[in-house]
């Protein structure tokens, strides 16, 4: 099977050439029936579009046209280091620029009155990117959903969390920015299975579906974070923590947090999201980090909240 076999029907995959030579893989997907709205889905760290096939289809079934992309350094978009498994980025402004370029390609940046509502949804790192995009591009979207947004990173115990940012800064100053950060080195199969069952999803069938995608195209895999990626992430978090930053985002925002979250910091998310003028925060009981790939009962609660917030049936 090829990667295209894991996309919903009516998917149109395209490639964007960026000025710095990076090629971005993007997609637009039409629902079978009448189009009631449009949604841009921004995926998380180390992810790729095939992993979202079920989630894409859920929105298509609700009459939404779907747009998404592989971030630079992930999926089948250009990788940034000779070792393609290392997750690296110089700064998060590049992610924002790439997202704007994709939206411009599909004529989604226009702020004139639209016939169809336009929504933004970001998961994890994608939630962070979406948050910053909303700040930098007011008026583009009608509503936004942030799922397990990376507005704070779990760096370990309070002592580790206190000293790790400085350690990362010094590591980059000494030229280690392209080296794996501690604990981020490639993991064996047993470690990966344990990580999934303890951190990402309770639904092993959905995890097995991801394994099948990866077996069909191993080039989709991206490994752990480098010091450079972590520094860029922490620097970007510092930006959105600035007073007045969150307050400037005025559109309706729904944040879905995972009750059993261990990768991002829900307390940080609540503090930042609580400063939004028009936000609603919901904690999904029993959920691990990847809410969109959780067990059916957890996804049912997720969809109850999403359907109510987006109100697609009323469009």
Alpha-carbon distances, residue 82 vs 4, 73, 88, 96, 174 (angstroms): 25, 11, 11, 23, 20
Radius of gyration of the chain (CA): 18
Q: Which domain holds residue 21?
A: 3-314
The DSSP symbol for 244 reads T
Per-residue pLDDT of the chain (315 residues; tens, 9 = 90+): 556 789 999 999 999 999 999 999 999 999 999 999 999 999 999 999 999 999 999 999 999 999 999 999 999 999 999 999 999 999 999 999 999 999 999 999 987 778 899 999 999 999 999 999 999 999 999 999 999 999 999 998 999 889 999 999 999 999 999 999 987 776 555 545 545 556 899 998 998 898 899 899 999 999 899 999 999 999 999 999 999 999 999 999 999 999 999 999 999 999 999 999 999 999 999 999 999 999 999 999 999 999 999 986 544
| Helix/strand/coil for 146 | strand
The C-alpha atoms of residue 124 and residue 146 are separated, in whole angstroms, by 8
Can you read off the two tokens belonging to residue 131?
Answer: 């948050």
Split into its structural domains, the chain has a count of: 1
Task: Give the CATH number, domain containing residue 194.
Answer: 3.40.50.1820
């Amino acid at each position: 099977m090829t990667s295209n076999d894991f996309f919903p029907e009516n998917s149109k995959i395209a490639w964007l050439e960026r000025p710095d030579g990076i090629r971005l893989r993007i997609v637009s997907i039409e629902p079978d029936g009448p189009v009631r709205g449009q949604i841009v889905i921004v995926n998380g760290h180390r992810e790729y579009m095939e992993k979202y096939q079920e989630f894409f289809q859920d929105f298509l079934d609700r009459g939404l046209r779907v747009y998404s992309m592989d971030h630079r350094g992930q999926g089948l978009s250009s990788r940034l280091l000779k070792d393609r498994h290392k997750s690296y980025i110089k700064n998060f402004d590049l992610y924002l620029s790439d997202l704007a370029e994709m939206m411009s390609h599909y004529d989604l940046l226009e702020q004139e009155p639209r016939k169809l509502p336009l929504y933004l949804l970001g998961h994890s790192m994608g939630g962070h990117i979406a948050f910053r995009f909303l700040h930098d591009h007011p008026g583009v979207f009608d509503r936004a959903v942030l799922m397990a947004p990376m507005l704070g990173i779990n760096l370990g115990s309070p002592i580790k969390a206190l000293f790790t940012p400085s350690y990362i800064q010094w590591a980059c100053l000494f030229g280690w920015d392209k080296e794996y950060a501690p604990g981020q080195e490639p993991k064996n199969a047993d470690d990966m299975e344990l990580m999934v069952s303890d951190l990402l999803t309770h639904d092993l069938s959905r995890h097995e579906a991801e394994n099948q995608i990866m077996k069909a195209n191993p080039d989709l895999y991206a490994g752990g974070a480098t010091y450079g990626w972590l520094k860029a992430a922490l620097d970007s978090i510092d930006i959105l923590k600035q007073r007045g930053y969150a307050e400037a985002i005025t559109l309706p925002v729904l944040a879905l947090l995972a009750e059993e979250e261990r990768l991002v910091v829900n307390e940080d998310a609540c503090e930042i999201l609580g400063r939004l003028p028009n936000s609603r925060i919901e904690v999904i009981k029993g959920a691990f980090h990847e809410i969109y790939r959780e067990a059916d009962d957890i996804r049912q609660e997720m969809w109850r909240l999403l359907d109510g917030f987006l109100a697609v049936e009323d469009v």
